[in-house]
Amino acid sequence: MFSTSSFAAHSATTPLSPLQIARREVGPLDVQIDIEYCGICHTDLHVAKNDWGRSVYPIVPGHEIVGRVRAVGAKVKRFAPGQAVAVGCFVGSCGTCASCADHMEQYCLNGYTLTYGSPSADPGGYTQGGYSKSIVVGEHFVLSLPDGLDPAAAAPLLCAGITSYSPLRHWGIGPGMTVGVIGLGGLGHMGVKLAHAMGAKTVMITTSPAKAADAMRLGANEVLISTDEQAMLAMANQFDFLLNTILVPHDFNTYMGLLKVDGTMCIVGAIGPNAQLNTRPLILGRRNIAGSLVGGIKETQEMLNFCAAHEIVSDIELIPVEQINEAYVRMQNNDVKYRFVIDMATLA
């Protein structure tokens, strides 16, 4: 084991603060990474506050990790010291189930190991995340960061980016299609950029007219205000695909009439019970409602390469580690465009 600095949640009600944590020694198939940047995700906030009732303290959040290789195990073949790398939302899976065999480790039938908060053989019995100076990860779950991507702005690609990219790719988004991105936040702003780069007509769907200019800057072809009943009626039956990024429970029925026959609305934001679903639009239009998690390791690497080729990164606000608690409050208040990233060089 070796010790490294981190910023951790010590309880559901106290601010995050510094903590020395232990990391495992580098095994034959491990990669040790010096962390340079780590994005802040809404999941981090939920886990820090124990909103889902599963947090074990102390816990170090962070699963949007970018850094450089410090050391590799004797059997590691794909990475070398000094190489720019990244780590996303999970660092382990069974490797043998049907999902893992199909490069979909995010749907591991025997349960994946999250980058933080999962039971593991790591010191302390649980994984600890990227709000830290160093991390040790199995080679399979380490990604190569392509040249040309700003490392700080690339960090949120490891969650917000792949969460948006995976469903867009799965449903074959491309030229000649019309895509609506519902909600302009950390996920939504990536959805707009990616759908536009894939060649689709991209429409930002929002309740706020004030977000229109920013949506167009990000790549939207049009903006649809969802509280404008006439505008919504005018766009009925126009969309091949809707990427619903709203994080809180809401009424899905508001948007179903926008879909064409065989169109799909994919939920990537709100997790858990929502308003009762009216099945009439589904049955009468053979429409679909679906969900999607992040991508597997192969698809996440594909996403990073796609973003490098199309010069896509997140819009970020770079902060020192001392501002994490302030960033959590601002994130709750939707006061960020569009993702906080921690400069880990500021962690002693």
How confident is the model over 246-274, as pLDDT tens digits? Answer: 988 888 999 999 999 999 999 998 788 88
Kindly give the interhelix angle for 186-197 and 160-170, rounded to the nearest 10 degrees: 40
Query: CA 299, CA 88: separation in Å to the nearest integer?
Result: 12
Distance between alpha carbon 185 and the CA centroid of its chain, in Å? 12
The amino acid present at 110, given as its one-letter code, is N
Bridge partners (DSSP) of residue 136 are 32
HSE-CB at 292 with a 13 A cutoff on CA atoms is 27
Q: What percent of the chain has pLDDT over 70?
A: 100
Q: What are the distances in angstroms from CA 99 to CA 119, 164, 293, 313?
A: 21, 20, 13, 28
Domains and CATH numbers, the chain: 2-159+315-346 (3.90.180.10), 161-291 (3.40.50.720)
Are 245 and 187 a contacting pair, CB within 8 Å?
A: yes
Sequence-distant (6+) residues with CB within 8 A of 21 are: 3, 4, 6, 8, 58, 60, 123, 124, 128, 132
Are 162 and 224 a contacting pair, CB within 8 Å?
A: no
Neighbours of 175 (CB within 10 A): 8
Ranges of beta strands (E only) in the chain are: 2-8, 17-23, 30-39, 65-72, 84-87, 90-92, 113-114, 134-138, 143-144, 178-182, 201-206, 222-225, 239-244, 259-267, 288-291, 316-320, 339-343
The amino acid present at 338, given as its one-letter code, is Y
Query: CA 200, CA 194: separation in Å to the nearest integer?
Result: 9
pLDDT in tens, 77-119: 999 999 999 999 999 999 999 999 999 999 999 999 999 999 9
Q: Which of 292, 38, 8, 333 is nearest to 158 (CA)?
A: 38
pLDDT in tens, 151-203: 999 999 999 999 999 999 999 999 999 999 999 999 999 999 999 999 999 99
pLDDT at residue number 272: 80
CA angle in degrees (0–180, nearest 5) for 111-118-107 = 25
pLDDT in tens, 31-66: 999 999 999 999 999 999 999 999 999 999 999 999
Query: CA 333, CA 322: separation in Å to the nearest integer?
Result: 19
Query: CA 193, CA 217: separation in Å to the nearest integer?
Result: 10
Residue in the structure block whose two tokens are 């600890």? 128
Query: CA 271, CA 170: separation in Å to the nearest integer?
Result: 20
